[in-house]
Chains A and B, each alone.
Chain A
Amino acid sequence: MLVFVIRRSLQSVVVLVAMSVIVFVGVYAIGNPIDILINPQADQIDRERAIAALGLDRPLWEQYLTFLRGAVTGDLGRSFVHSTSALGLIVEKMPATLELAFSAMLIAIVLGIPLGLWAGLKPDALSGRTIMAGSILGFSLPTFWVGLMLIMVFSVMLGWLPSNGRGTTVDLFGVPLSLLTVDGLAHLALPAPNLALFNVALLIRLTRSGAREALLQDYVKFARAKGLSNRRVIGVHVLRNILIPVVTVIGLQFGALIAFAIVTESVFAWPGMGKLLIDSINLLDRPVIVAYLLVIVTLFIAINLAVDILYSALDPRVRLSEGGG
């Protein structure tokens, strides 16, 4: 187990370095930030001074090495626009995004697994078919469009719910949270379901197909032959087996939720990392873009590791020490 975690961490460092090169080159290729940052009326001397100050006069490899030297000490550069630490900007916005992603995942789990189980147990009933039809909608409707519709109906027409911002937050251990205030919850009530929609559909499909497959297995028939109640057969024998793929997907999707929160954050003006990224791209604030992407990759790696550990806890046939990464 320990060996596994250490090996995975080393692999992660390699992935991160490779990622940083790709991101650095990629970001370098898009536009010239000076055109945006500097007053067009500024003279040539001012312009060159600014370029030198941001280090943009150096060759790419030198800029990268400077970046890497800083990165080792946890410094991912300074924002061109805000002149503060890029990482600091992201960390400041991170609670909002994590809170949104977490709420969305919770909704997806609470709705998706029971509905999927029901649809798997009653594939031919009207209820089962309705659930499946609903999941197709959840898959195919674009997130931004659903978000706009939610705002139209619940904010503009009915006026029930706010359509932008986080509302009132309360600090918990220094982290501002909307989940803990009524006003904050009202502000979450539209964006969280919006972000959850795709994953509700995904979990319904996954749970349903898992249940249908498990129900055909001999161990289910044997469990019933033992005289177990339906409740126990479904709740223990079937669910335990479905949970293995479901937990894996939930873990991986959590990373995706954080990344795809960009769309929902833009629609609902949710002040999270995604919105920061969009703003930074518009201003060609390279250090923030690079830092954001590296933070996301790090999150993905951490989530993957957690999923693998959880997976081995759920499936006794999986051994972490074997097979490596």
Chain B
Amino acid sequence: MTPPLLTVEGLRTHFFTRAGVVKAVDDVSFTLARGEVMGLVGESGSGKSITGYSIMGLVDPPGRVVAGSIRLDGRELTTLDPESMRKLRGNRVAMIFQDPMMTLNPVLRIDRQMTEAILAHDDVGERVALGRARDALERVGIPSPDERLKAWPHQFSGGMRQRVAIAIALLNEPDLIIADEPTTALDVTIQGQILHEVQKLARETGTALVWITHDLSVVAGLADRVCVMYAGRIVEQGTTAQVLDTPAHPYTQGLLDSVPSRNARGARLKQIPGMTPSLIGLAPGCAFRERCARADADCAETPAMSVDGNDPGRGVRCHHPIVPWTQPPR
């Protein structure tokens, strides 16, 4: 078996605020193979973006990666010096953000914002860089790329801006793209187009994807595997089919029940009762227990990630999983 492209182990990223320590990411582990597409799903505030920033080395103070390991191609990123980390960013790992209206700098022309991403990593001339920028625009389906290079961000629609952002992420043919809810701010038809486009491009170039979303229906057609995140922890992981068809964690079940298209026509949508807990001074125990119908006294103790004995890619963090669970051999 080839070694994974990305290994995240026991990652903890905390924010040291005046009000207290916010454990935004608290013991997150997963692996990602080359060319694999992983969905990272969870409600807003569950720590998905911060997980992405941690991998990129972009956590801003007062936040800090306090524990764990992130290995890209066997190389440890958490202890990497800033300059080596800079060389990886946008080169081996790229990131796309949620709001395309905000990610492009309003006062810089598109050509500049694209070529600078090339020139930061490759010692090529302005001309070569422009050519590559143009090709990248064409690849993401932007018509008349030569003209569009000379345009300003405000002259593009939201969907087109997100295409530009994707083109920028693809410029240096990275091994991994972290896409942080890139379609959430777009309307539904554009969402579908972008989703399709990114999937196609990732497959063509063999780029692995971490696709962050709060919408389980988005990952259904896109991801090979899914991690479900709740209150800074991954509570369930498995192949897309495993997680969507036979969810083991009550939270995953709750998320699935609240997706409109998956429910029988006319059936009432079930919302998960209660609210996501505050991450400041979170008490020990399962963070979901206030909202969980299966909770009992056991749940006052923090459940560990329990990996299926027959399938190391399948795991759940719950004392009482919904589906029968093969305990790992002792």
Q: Which residues of A contact B (CB under 8 A)?
A: 217-219, 221-229, 232, 236-237, 240-241, 244, 314-317
Known: A222-B165, A227-B87, A227-B90. A317 touches B106 (CB 8 A): yes
B212 contacts the other chain (Cβ, under 8 Å)?
A: no
- Give 20 new A-B contacts, CB below 8 A, not counting A222-B95, A227-B121, A237-B105: A218-B97, A218-B98, A221-B97, A222-B97, A223-B105, A225-B56, A225-B89, A225-B94, A226-B90, A226-B117, A226-B120, A228-B120, A229-B86, A240-B108, A241-B106, A244-B107, A315-B106, A316-B109, A316-B154, A317-B154
Q: Which residues of B contact A240 (CB under 8 A)?
A: 105, 107-108
- Interface size, chain B (Cβ < 8 Å): 29
Whole-angstrom distance from the CB of B59 to the nearest CB of chain A?
11
Whole-angstrom distance from the CB of A178 to the nearest CB of chain B?
38
The 6 sampled A-B contact pairs (Cβ below 8 Å) are: A224-B58, A225-B58, A226-B168, A227-B89, A228-B120, A240-B107
B325 contacts the other chain (Cβ, under 8 Å)?
A: no
Contact with A along B95-136 (1 / 0, CB 8 A): 101110011111111000000110011000000000000000
Whole-angstrom distance from the CB of A147 to the nearest CB of chain B?
39
- In angstroms, Cα B86 to Cα A224, docked, is 8
B30 contacts the other chain (Cβ, under 8 Å)?
A: no
Whole-angstrom distance from the CB of B178 to the nearest CB of chain A?
9
**Once the chains bind, are B97 and A227 in contact (CB under 8 Å)?**
no
- In angstroms, Cα B113 to Cα A236, docked, is 10
Residue of B nearest to A237 (CB): B105
Q: Which residues of B contact A229 (CB under 8 A)?
A: 86, 120
Contact partner, A226, options B89, B98, B154, Cβ 8 Å: B89
**Once the chains bind, are B152 and A219 in contact (CB under 8 Å)?**
no
Q: Which residues of B contact A221 (CB under 8 A)?
A: 58, 97, 103
Known: A218-B97, A316-B152, A316-B154. A227 touches B86 (CB 8 A): yes
Interface centre among A226, A228, A236 (most CB of B within 10 A): A226
- In angstroms, Cα B102 to Cα A222, docked, is 9
- In angstroms, Cα B103 to Cα A110, docked, is 31
**Once the chains bind, are A224 and B106 in contact (CB under 8 Å)?**
no
B220 contacts the other chain (Cβ, under 8 Å)?
A: no
B88 contacts the other chain (Cβ, under 8 Å)?
A: yes
Contact partner, B88, options A217, A227, A316, Cβ 8 Å: A227
Q: Which residues of B contact A217 (CB under 8 A)?
A: 102
Residue of A nearest to B152 (CB): A316
Whole-angstrom distance from the CB of A55 to the nearest CB of chain B?
55
Interface centre among B89, B99, B109 (most CB of A within 10 A): B89
**Once the chains bind, are A218 and B103 in contact (CB under 8 Å)?**
yes
**Once the chains bind, are A241 and B88 in contact (CB under 8 Å)?**
no
Contact partner, B120, options A219, A227, A314, Cβ 8 Å: A227
